[in-house]
Amino acid sequence: MRSPTPFYESLALFVILGHYGSGKTNLSLNLARKLKELGREPLVVDLDIVNPYFRSTDYQELMEAEGVRVMGPALGRLNLDLSSLAPGIDTIIENATLAQPVIVDVGGDPDGARALVRYIPAINKVESKLVLLVVNLRRPETQGIEDNLTMIEELIKTTSLPIDALIGNTHLAEFTTLETVEQSLPILEELSLGSKLPLIAVTLPESFESRMNTPFFPIERLVKTNWQ
């Protein structure tokens, strides 16, 4: 079994992009936990102003009880416009450090990513950053190579922000199996070649063990539906 990849250990800023339902928020929260375990003081910035469901701010109490700060829209957990975003986000982003890293959880698709545009100048001031695309191949809109390549192109066009890497997050919620993850690997590797973006890891439920050669990132399912 291969050890989890330490891709997050030497970075100050993480920008998390992806399709609706790809698992951006769950990844963001788990990443914050990992950084906290390293003795750092992470802050999750919720920039999803399009989709009122499955947002980082919905887990604010849970995360802050673990010492992870979460910052979202000034007016709460609603479907809001850009003016509702809390002030000072620019300053928070550009002041991200290794000791106090910032994770930006962006809304899904190019529509959601538009909220990121106003913060591009601040993001560009941070040298130690990673713009990460979360890929879930079990979503109807992102099952194929061409669908994902189109989304990558549209995200870059919308934000003018280059994407640095891919992370595979193929899952079926509580029905995810090791086979679910392993079956995604050939397609993820092909997508990596086609997009010229490195596949830095695939997520794997913490309870699973794997003999995969691909680096994996242990993850707990924190984000759940209202009836779970």
Its pTM stands at 0.89
38 residue type, one letter: L
Condensed to tens digits (0 to 9), the pLDDT of residues 22-65 reads 999 999 999 999 999 999 999 999 987 766 555 677 788 888 89
- Coil, helix or strand at residue 163: coil
Give the angle subtended at the CA of 154 by the CAs of 150 and 157, to the nearest 5°: 140
Residue 36 or residue 80, greater confidence: 36
* Alpha helix stretches (DSSP H) within 125-201: 145-159, 178-195
Cα 225 from Cα 220, distance rounded (Å): 15
Buried b (16+ CB within 10 A) or exposed e, 57-79: bbbbeebeeeebbbbbbeeeeee
What are the structural domains of the chain?
13-219 (3.40.50.300)
